[in-house]
Chain A
Amino acid sequence: MVPLATFTSYYGRPIVKASPWKSDIPAYLFLGGLAAASSLLAAGADLSNRPELRRVARIGALAGGAAGTVALVHDLGKPTRFLNMMRTAKPTSPMSIGTWILTTFMPLASLAGAAEIAALLPFRVPIAGRLLDLGARPAGLLAAAVAPGLASYTGVLLTDTATPGWHAAQRELPLIFVASAAAAAGGLGMAGVPVGEATPARRMAVGGAALALVMEQRMEGSMGLSAKTLHSGKAQRLFNASRALSIGGAVGTIVLGSRNRAAAAVCGAALFVGSACMRFAIFEAGQASARDPRYTVVPQRERLRS
């Protein structure tokens, strides 16, 4: 169908409201994904006896999850009321479900991560150190069991809104987010682990980056008119940076990742930052789609005409 050339609005003012969220939320989207995919990488490293990869991934899961939780609480209008999230569990609210997923994940990932940090200390921690050693594996594996939910629910968090750019991406966004999470966690593993032990990290990073790039292409088709918001302003700069870093990082990983530690670290960092840029790009594109009434009115008019 031919898109409407013109549309009417109330003096160009927005119809839907953009979310009040600041950079805390896209930062959390990235950090939560990083934590989730890292915990899966850590579980695999644990089961396949790769201690260095396990250490980096467990610490990544702990640090990403902790920083993400801080960002989430910081973004609240009333941070002191954070615990009100625990009053209820609502399947109609992706934020409620996500809070419960994160609440389950964090103690488990923290225990596994703390065990790795304790092992790095120059002295043995009495009793607690022994408990950490015993609990690390079951906690790490349980965290990995929760991780798929943690990595994917954030996609639904954005698409379950009236923000045109996000809602229209509902078929692709959760897949893009898990793929981007894998790219970030794999990139971290590549940067922190010698190449001999980092094979799974490289595979995860390249596979994640490739899937994210393919799904982003499909998402632009689904987004229709609101895909324009990915190609202007702040979102465009972030989106282009994300694609360049992801493609460059993935190609570099395939060519040099298994040979040169320094090159692997650079490629890993590129994939890591590329994943972060993608979260911010999609966040900013959605915000822009809410601020311009065109993206609300035109698709609804076309729906009514068809």
Chain B
Amino acid sequence: MWGWSSAPDPARDTGWINAPARKGFFTDGSVCIGCKACEVACKEWNGIPEDGLQLLGMSYDNTGGLGASTWRHVAFIEQPRRAVGSDGFTPLPMVTAAPDQNTHAGSAETGIRWLMSSDVCKHCTHAACLDVCPTGALLRTEFGTVVVQDDVCNGCGYCIPACPFGVIDRRDGPPGARNVGIAQKCTLCYDRLRDDMTPACAQACPTQSIQFGDLDELRIRAHDRVDSLHAAGVTDARLYLADPNDGIGGAGAFFLLLDEPEVYGLPPDPVVTTRDLPAMWRTAAIAGATLVAGAAAAFVWTRS
């Protein structure tokens, strides 16, 4: 039930026979330009309704975060650049290559750097949303991804607080829109995958910041990318959720970040809540036994 093997294979562990190689995303934040083409392509392909056209007044990001009707979200962080080397902060090499353009991201003149990265459902190896779903609406596909069956979900909402990343949410509008009242999130374009096509966001990404493919291959590619960034002096570069031994057993969608995860709105050390569930059930058993003992004691040595 909570099999914690070092080389987990979620599709086969779920019972898929002849499952294809596990598919995933490698989102490389070092080449994201914040264009939001992924957000648009995702909405278009998946027929997701509009969910607010407000200005958030915090940065060039007016989407805010992932939700029932936002399955790709581009984070945009503007931060003062600290001295190279302190706190592991380093400017990107492309910045120093164009010192005369003071409009350029992270130029020496502005003392500012921009971080951008496209967030998405992580398609966890150990997926809390899937574990806690009481109807079986959330399922593990043959590609190792996690998908909501729209016609099964009854909108209980349990998956929402269970997700350690705050990805999945219940669609609450607009009235008349598809799937209002039920849980919604990225499907890793399950429909496209079954026709051997690339997910819409990766297809639309102009810089190959979003790379789609077999997870094993993506991990190798990502480690090579980090090595080359480190060699180029970008010592901030780090992989996030690429380790199969982390608290979620590694993600199907993992990231290359240039700062701590929380800077991008990601939890620094996520753990699937159901990892502790056996202990929780034991506590509940003790509690139940306590209640029975207490009720019995209430009747002992009394006259009726």
Instruction: Indicate whether A37 reaches chain B with its CB closer than 8 angstroms.
Output: yes
Instruction: Indicate whether B152 reaches chain A with its CB closer than 8 angstroms.
Output: yes
Q: Are B288 and A94 in contact (CB under 8 A)?
A: no
Report the minimum CB–CB distance from B84 to chain A (whole Å).
19
Residues of chain B within 8 A (CB-CB) of A99 are: 134
User: In residues 186-238 of chain B, which contact A (Cβ within 8 Å)?
Assistant: none
Residues of chain A within 8 A (CB-CB) of B161 are: 16-19, 161-163, 166, 286, 290
Q: Are A204 and B292 in contact (CB under 8 A)?
A: no
Q: In the complex, A163 Cα to B163 Cα: how many Å?
A: 9
Report the minimum CB–CB distance from A191 to chain B (whole Å).
16
Instruction: Indicate whether B133 reaches chain A with its CB closer than 8 angstroms.
Output: yes
Q: Are B131 and A17 in contact (CB under 8 A)?
A: no
The listed residue (B263, B270, B273) touching A10 by CB distance below 8 A is: B263
Q: Are B269 and A304 in contact (CB under 8 A)?
A: yes
Q: Are A10 and B262 in contact (CB under 8 A)?
A: yes
In the complex, the chain A residue whose C-beta lies closest to that of B130 is A92
User: In residues 235-285 of chain B, which contact A (Cβ within 8 Å)?
Assistant: 260, 262-270, 273-274, 276-277, 279-281, 283-285
Q: Are A178 and B288 in contact (CB under 8 A)?
A: yes
In the complex, the chain B residue whose C-beta lies closest to that of A145 is B292
Known A-B contacts A14-B166, A17-B166; the reply to A181 vs B262 at CB < 8 A is: no
Q: In the complex, A293 Cα to B165 Cα: how many Å?
A: 11
The listed residue (A7, A15, A175) touching B287 by CB distance below 8 A is: A175
Known A-B contacts A15-B266, A16-B267, A170-B283; the reply to A95 vs B156 at CB < 8 A is: yes
**Which DSSP category, helix, strand, loop or mixed, fits chain A's interface?**
helix
Instruction: Indicate whether B170 reaches chain A with its CB closer than 8 angstroms.
Output: yes
Residues of chain A within 8 A (CB-CB) of B164 are: 16, 162
Residues of chain A within 8 A (CB-CB) of B304 are: 48-50, 197
Report the minimum CB–CB distance from A285 to chain B (whole Å).
13
Q: Are B283 and A155 in contact (CB under 8 A)?
A: yes
- Chain A residues within 8 Å of chain B by Cβ, number: 88
* Interface 9-residue window, one of A82-90, A118-126, A246-254, A266-274: A82-90
Instruction: Indicate whether A134 reaches chain B with its CB closer than 8 angstroms.
Output: no
Instruction: Indicate whether B153 reaches chain A with its CB closer than 8 angstroms.
Output: yes
Instruction: Indicate whether B162 reaches chain A with its CB closer than 8 angstroms.
Output: yes
Q: Are B291 and A182 in contact (CB under 8 A)?
A: yes
Q: Are B160 and A152 in contact (CB under 8 A)?
A: no
Instruction: Indicate whether A106 reaches chain B with its CB closer than 8 angstroms.
Output: no
Q: Are A76 and B263 in contact (CB under 8 A)?
A: no
Report the minimum CB–CB distance from B293 to chain A (whole Å).
10
Instruction: Indicate whether B21 reaches chain A with its CB closer than 8 angstroms.
Output: no
The listed residue (A14, A50, A155, A207) touching B297 by CB distance below 8 A is: A207
The listed residue (A81, A186, A201, A301) touching B155 by CB distance below 8 A is: A81
Residues of chain B within 8 A (CB-CB) of A81 are: 135, 152-155
Residues of chain A within 8 A (CB-CB) of B153 are: 77-78, 81, 84
Across the A-B interface, the 8 shortest Cβ-Cβ residue pairs: A77-B155, A148-B288, A10-B265, A77-B181, A81-B154, A174-B287, A96-B134, A161-B161
Q: Which residues does B use to contact A, with CB under 8 Å?
A: 1-2, 56, 58-59, 64-65, 75, 77, 128, 131-137, 152-158, 160-166, 168-170, 172, 180-183, 260, 262-270, 273-274, 276-277, 279-281, 283-292, 294-299, 302-304
Q: Told that A147-B291, A156-B277, A156-B281 touch, could you supply 9 new A-B pairs with CB distance under 8 A? A: A10-B263, A15-B267, A50-B304, A75-B157, A76-B156, A90-B133, A95-B156, A160-B280, A170-B276
